Amino acid sequence: MKPRLQTSAVAVCTIALCIMTLSLAGFSRAEEQSSECLNCHRQRNMNANEGILSSRLFCFNCHQDPASHGDFRASKVSLQVKPEYFQKSPHKFVACVQCHTDVARSPHRSLSGVQCVTCHRQIYGRPGTHAEHFRVRCESCHTDSPFVTLDLTKNEVKLSHTNSKLVPISLAEHKTTDVTRQEFCTKCHTSNNLVGAPAMVLPSKSFVCVACHYSPLQMGNPLFLVAIGIALIGIVGILNFWFKARVQDEASSVHRKFQLGSEVVWSKIFSKEIFSVVKTIFFDILLQRRILANGVSRWFIHSLIFYSFFARFALSFFTLLLQKLSPEGELTLTLVNKDSSFVAMFNDLTGVFILAGVIWAMVRRYITKPDYVATQDQDTIALVIIGLVTFSGFILEGIRIVIAQIPQQIALSAFGGYLLSRLFSVVNLGWQTIYGYMWYIHALLWAMFIAYLPFGKLKHIFTTPLSLLLNYKRE
């Protein structure tokens, strides 16, 4: 055998072995099944309606009986479940033990409650409605019962087994809520509620909020539609202005200008010049070499704001992606929860950095006023908007910690918000109501940021990297 042939044969075998090992590693996770009744009794085939109905009949053996009851705080609560409850239910073909996963055992009692997430796992941390209600158990909203309660020991909102007069009630009817009705939200979101909800039913975040927050890919409030509309007009204006210029001797045809311009970009990407472009991206755009050359304090101010925004955008976008790819992963469930220590700490730290940058910049522009700093109106507008957005965010967080009664050991990670919450808790100004207005102020400020983006100084966020990329050779 020739040595070269031999080498390649060995290489092929090694690769094949690697693939086989990996394939075997992918196999086999031990079957987990420990419900005690099913240790001996035959498990029905839950993949077929017959199995589900037969499994359900087993439960109905007792629970159909009108005498079936539970003892709750020394009073009897009916646990009679009528089959007709499920006649029109979306869970018509779901067995009892598929939701009540830990009841098939002795003593016959559930510790974990109903497990919606085993099936509805995509929903769990989805932004828009669900991630915002992360500590609220599904059934609190989705079961048609007007009584909910805040369990401070577990920091979760759940369905109450008693009514407002603390008389035990039965939840055996299994009635799901019509989510299109207003009562769906106003059950909790009223003034002076006891579960820590804001008094107002607030709209969902918009996709433009992804710059700082984990938010859904939807328009949200019409406010943002207006802001994006204004921004789009500005962007069209800028593009229109740009394409008035000549492109390689072509003065009139926009089609030809596009053709020539895109050709240049294509030929740059697929040539050795891409390395110079990457270098520009790294040094000039990411590390901001040019600002550093202008002065260290300038670079610090700009970096405090730029890197914080950049990091927040990166994290919220990453969370969004992760939620789609692995909705029940441990990392996902940590990142979608804004009270988890990492996210809270991260958000407060970046927020403090942005505020510090804005204040430092303001001190330089309006108090110390070095000769080389020329301040225009648009600088003031940009700084004020960014500063106010961040500051209102901290106020919002402070109010949220107060009204939601988030336990101290959890709230401490959000150190800025926690400090403010201590301040706010001194006086009760009706924070549950104020929260809603504050939310709209925060959203309005961000909408202003978006609308103002193409008109004033803020457009440098896009134009400066672009012009750096286009002029990278003129160093």
26 in contact with other proteins (CB under 8 A): yes
Closest CA to 89 of 101, 104, 99: 99
Determine which residue in the list 4, 27, 33, 66 makes contact with other proteins, applying CB under 8 A.
27
Binding mask 396-435 for other proteins (x = CB under 8 A): ----------------------------------------
Give dist(CA 73, CA 161) in Å, integer: 10
64 in contact with other proteins (CB under 8 A): no
Which parts of 326-459 fold into alpha helices (H)?
330-335, 341-363, 377-404, 408-411, 415-424, 431-452
Region of 57-65, 80-88, 152-160, 263-271 interacting with other proteins (CB under 8 A):
263-271
Measured from the CB of residue 270, what is the shortest distance to other proteins in angstroms? 7
Give dist(CA 343, CA 348) in Å, integer: 8
Determine which residue in the list 241, 270, 275, 372 makes contact with other proteins, applying CB under 8 A.
270
Q: How far is CA 182 from CA 164, 196, 330, in A?
A: 21, 19, 33
CB of 249 or CB of 377, closer to other proteins: 249
Q: What angle do CA 138, 143, 148 make, to 5 degrees?
A: 75
Region of 181-189, 261-269, 273-281, 455-463 interacting with other proteins (CB under 8 A):
261-269
**Interface with other proteins in residues 301-360 (CB under 8 A):** 324-329
**Interface with other proteins in residues 198-257 (CB under 8 A):** 248-249, 255
CB of 270 or CB of 372, closer to other proteins: 270
Decide if 431 contacts 424 (C-beta within 8 A): yes
User: Which tokens sit at 321?
Assistant: 């992606």
Q: What angle do CA 183, 189, 190 make, to 5 degrees?
A: 95
Measured from the CB of residue 22, what is the shortest distance to other proteins in angstroms? 5
**Interface with other proteins in residues 87-126 (CB under 8 A):** 121-122
Place of tokens 């909203």: 141
Decide if 438 contacts 395 (C-beta within 8 A): yes
CB of 93 or CB of 366, closer to other proteins: 93
Determine which residue in the list 13, 15, 16, 19 makes contact with other proteins, applying CB under 8 A.
19
CB of 39 or CB of 259, closer to other proteins: 259
CB of 6 or CB of 259, closer to other proteins: 259
Q: What angle do CA 32, 35, 41 make, to 5 degrees?
A: 105
Decide if 158 contacts 113 (C-beta within 8 A): yes
Task: Give just the sign of the alpha carbon dihedral 379, 382, 388, 394.
Answer: negative
Residue ranges that bind other proteins, judged by CB under 8 A: 19-20, 22-27, 121-122, 248-249, 255, 259, 262-263, 265-266, 270, 324-329
